[in-house]
Structure 1
Amino acid sequence: MRFVLASQSPARLGVLRSAGFDPSVVVSGVDEDAVAASLTDPAPAELVRALATAKAEKVFETLVGSHSDHVGSADMVIVGCDSMLSINGEMVGKPITPEAARERWASMAGKSGELLTGHAIIRVENGEKTKETSGTEGTIVRFGTPSQEEIDAYIASGEPLQVAGGFTLDGLGGWFIEGIDGDFSSVIGISLPLTRRLLAEVGVSVVDLWTRPAS
């Protein structure tokens, strides 16, 4: 069975590879702003779950619509993910610009926020969608208080611009995180515990998707 990751995130891919998977990566290209705008006052968990579902659905349409024997008719599971940070009463995604990243860190330094990750899974058998499910995982992140010089250097690295919340746990941003309460892998981008539970809901065991023996 093929495991398809509907995300271009190298961090998510790295988590899955470390956990014994060898995913195929297919980027959805979903307009996240349009999906968010289509929802009426969504709760944070609803928003990330809807975005994850939209990504998985788009990749399903792309693969099945390609009419390729080795893609469209294959048995596979497609996993879509989306992450956002809930802090100071606001849901925030990627800062994108240095100015936005600087403002983000000024508002969250010394505080705590909840990193919410939504996952959606579609099971495909013989080219047909047979099952689908979704869920969310929330993890509390406690931010440190970096100096101005540290923040300037971090922003200059470019790392915080393209990641949810403007920080990483497994990269340069890890120096500025005091701790977390919850699932480490979820903060990186894909929750292994949640993914395992959702795969079980569509009748797939993670051990059947391992591509290498445990070391």
Structure 2
Amino acid sequence: MASKLWEKNIQVDHDVETYTVGRDREMDLYLARYDVLGSIAHITMLQTINLLTADELSQLTAALREIYAEIEAGKFVIEDGIEDVHSQVELMLTRRLGDVGKKIHSGRSRNDQVLVDLRLFIRSEIEDVVHHITTLFHTLQAQSERYKDVLMPGYTHLQVAMPSSFGLWFGAYAESLADDLVVLRAAYDVNNRNPLGSAAGYGSSFPLNRELTTQLLGFASVDYNVVYA
């Protein structure tokens, strides 16, 4: 019987598996909180299409919130022999809730699950970077104003050419950061689309409400083409 979610009835070369998996379990810890948030949105949607009862939703939501608290407290670990964060969360749910815990995977593939985790993680990271860049921008602008009358020579071809100022140089770096914010905004917009419901790349036969999970997770829109997602 297969011991991993993706494993079939063939023997996988150990070195190949080690090379391809690498530090996945370690890196998955960065995705843990987002995996839980994505799962809460997913099960909320499942209950609206009658794939979960209200009681099952209540049990799963409470257990997921407990797991989220453990993640935030730094107590969450991916156990030895467990492949990834998705498997660990599902294992914890089944230990606490029995078969109800397994229902969290209904209408969902590991493919779109990890995509959601990554989108939420990247969105958060971009927001953090933008915050720090904005702070630095305002600092440079303040220095530009402060030192606008402090002169320095402007050089061309290694020769003094024109009078300049320290303020002008501070302002130049500030303006470059403004361009960086434009690029980050574009990256944010491309990333901020919901892949949940694309399943393994061809959608699901369940009547999934992708608009609801989009709203719950704060995405701007869905990834409409499930193959592209």
**TM-score normalized by structure 1?**
0.30
Q: Which has the larger radius of gyration?
A: 2
Greater per-residue helix proportion:
2
Greater per-residue strand proportion:
1
